[in-house]
Each structure stands twice: as structure tokens, then as C-alpha cells.
Amino acid sequence: MTFLTQLLNGLQLGSIYALVALGYTMVYGIILLLNFAHGDIIMVGAYISWIVMAKLGMNPAIAVILSVAGCTLLGVLIDKVAYAPLRNAPRLSILITAIGVSYFLENGAQLVFGADAKVVPPYIGVSNIKVAGMSLSLNAILTIVVTAISTAVLTFLVQKTKLGKAMRAVSEDMGAARLMGINVNTTISFTFALGSALAGIGAVLYSMAYSQATPTMGIMLGTKAFVAAVLGGIGSIPGAVIGGLLVGFAEVFVSALGLSVWKDAVVFLLLIIVLIVKPTGILGRTMSEKV
């Protein structure tokens, strides 16, 4: 029983990490940027939900739609304003810019909403459902199902659609992709849109689980998801999912053993071990440096 509950908790938390990790991995895959602002996009998504439900008293469904749409737009906007002008600059410049964007969002949120936590109202009324005599968290089940569907849709988009194939072409060889008639900037924007939409879904699922929004909530969530992406092999979509689930399970089981103060340390220890044993991550390919 307890084991099953913990398993479900691990899957729930891992699913959220996986969704966020997918955004990291996709952006890295296409422009080799570690988008440190990615976690903060989730924070903005949580605040959007808070505004829509707590301030405006609107339907949770509208909160979900606006959170996902808001995150998507924000992701594309960040790329256009902050990263696109640096497309041909050294990689360090754009990395530092990403850190700058992250601080900008965190401090901007603090300025607008204050430093205290805002309570995000529940999206759904029922919290538990009974399955075969066991009481299971509906949030957890929803989170897992939504993540599974999102991952399946994303995989389909990337593998089968024209734009998805263009994404893969750009990530392999931007110059050759241009010669094919692929508009590289549009393709990169599309990648940011997809990654940020997943972050928006992650924001909804995260605030469903923890019911609060703070200006700094994206830092640890983003860092953990980044660890998940690196664990799984950055650039790899199935890797991000595996990495996310691993990090989620590690945290939940360490907490279940009564060592919850150690849960963050264990996640980072896991990262160190994987990097020593397999530096490219679980599903990572050895990538040759692009020239």
C-alpha cells in the first residue's frame, strides 16, 4: 500500500520533471543553449493560473488554457528578444543572457506579485479516487496521464511532421538546413514554442500538486529538470523522460525513508555518478563539436 502510494508519488513528481526536462533538451538539441530561464517560465505559468482563478475567479479550464498559452508566448518572446540577436555570437554570451533572463523574470515577478507565496486554488474538486479498494490521488493520476499524452504528441510531432523533421535537420546542421529552404529562425521559434508549452503544462501540474506560486519556485524545479535532462542524455527526448522519472523516484523514495532533508543532495549525487560512469547521460550520443 504505502509502497504503491510512494510509487505513484514518484511517478507524479517524475512526470513534472520530465515535462520540464523536455523543454531543456529540445532547446539544447537545436541551438546548444542551456536555457536557464526555462524554470522561470513555469513560475510565470503558475502565477497566470493564480490570477485567473484566485483574482478573477474564473473557471480552472480557462486557467489551464491561459497558463499554457502564456508560457508558450513567453518562451517564443524570450527567444526573439534575448537569444535570436545572439545567434552567431559565442555560446558563452547566450548562456549568460539566459541567466540574465532568469534573474529578470524572478525579480520581475517579485516586483509585481511580492515575495510571499500566493495560493493557487485547486483545479479540480475531487482529490482522491477509489480504485480496487485503494484511495489514489487523482492529481497524481492526471499528472501521469497528461505527461504520457504530451510526450506521445511531442514524439509524433518531432518524428512525423514536416516541421518536426525540419527541427531535427536544423539541430544536425543549421547551414545545410538553410540550403534546403528551411527557415531556421521559424524552426527555432517553433522549438521554443513546443518546449514552453510543455513548461506551461508542467506549471499547471506543479501548482496542482503544491498549490502555491512564489517568484523563486522555478529555480529548484528548473535545476532538477536540468539534472534530469543531463541524466537522460541532453538532446534526447526519451532521455528527458527517463531522467525526469529517475529524479522523481529518487526524491520520493529518499523522503519515504525519512531522509527528506537529503533528497536534493541525492538527486545531485545521482547526477555526479552518471556523469562519471557515462558522461553523455543514459541515452546520450557522443556528439562531435560542430564547426
Partner 1 sequence: MALLSVKDLHVSYGAIKAVQGISFEINQGEIVTLIGANGAGKSTTLNTIAGIIKPDDGSIEFKGESLVGVKAHKIVEKGLALCPEGRRVFAQMTVAENLEMGGYTRSDAENSETLEIVYERFPRLKERMNQTAGTLSGGEQQMLAMGRALMSKPELLMLDEPSMGLAPILVEEIFDIIRALNEQGTTILLVEQNASMALSIADRGYVLEVGHISKTGTGADLLHDDDVRKAYLGG
Query: Min. distance of Cβ 251 from partner 1 in angstroms?
Result: 33
Residue 112 as a binder of partner 1 (CB under 8 A): the answer is no
Q: Work out the burial of residue 285: count CB atoms within 10 Å of its CB; fewer than 13 is exposed, 13-18 middle, 19 or more buried.
A: exposed
90 binds partner 1 (CB under 8 A): no
What is the nearest approach in angstroms of partner 1 to the Cβ of residue 162? 7
Please report whether residue 88 would count as binding partner 1 according to CB under 8 A: no
Least distance from partner 1 to the Cβ atom of residue 159, Å: 9
Based on its alpha-carbon atoms, the radius of gyration of the chain, rounded to whole angstroms, reads 19
- Listed in sequence order, the DSSP H helices in 123-183 are 138-160, 162-172, 174-179
Alpha-carbon gap, residue 115 to 211, rounded angstroms: 16
Contacts of 246 (CB under 8 A, 6+ apart): 14, 228, 231, 232, 270
What letter represents residue 85's amino acid? P
Q: Which is nearer to partner 1, 191 or 255 (CB)?
A: 191
> Among residues 58 and 176, whose Cβ is nearest to partner 1?
176
Q: What is the dihedral of CA 74, 222, 121, 4, to 10 degrees?
A: 140
Contact 104, 112 (CB under 8 A): no
Nearer to partner 1, 68 or 283 (CB): 283
- According to CB under 8 A, which residues from 38 to 57 bind partner 1? none
Which residues inside 184-203 make contact with partner 1, applying CB under 8 A? 184
DSSP E strand stretches across the chain: 118-119, 128-131, 134-137, 212-213
Between residue 124 and residue 183, which ones bind partner 1 under the rule CB under 8 A? 162, 165-166, 168-169, 172-173, 175-183
Question: Residue 55 or residue 178: which is nearer to partner 1 going by CB?
Answer: 178
Q: Which is nearer to partner 1, 1 or 179 (CB)?
A: 179
Distance CA(190)–CA(80), nearest Å, equals 11
Of residues 128 and 183, the one with the C-beta less far from partner 1: 183
Least separation in angstroms between CB 67 and partner 1: 33
Query: Which residues sit at the interface with partner 1, rule CB under 8 A?
Result: 162, 165-166, 168-169, 172-173, 175-184
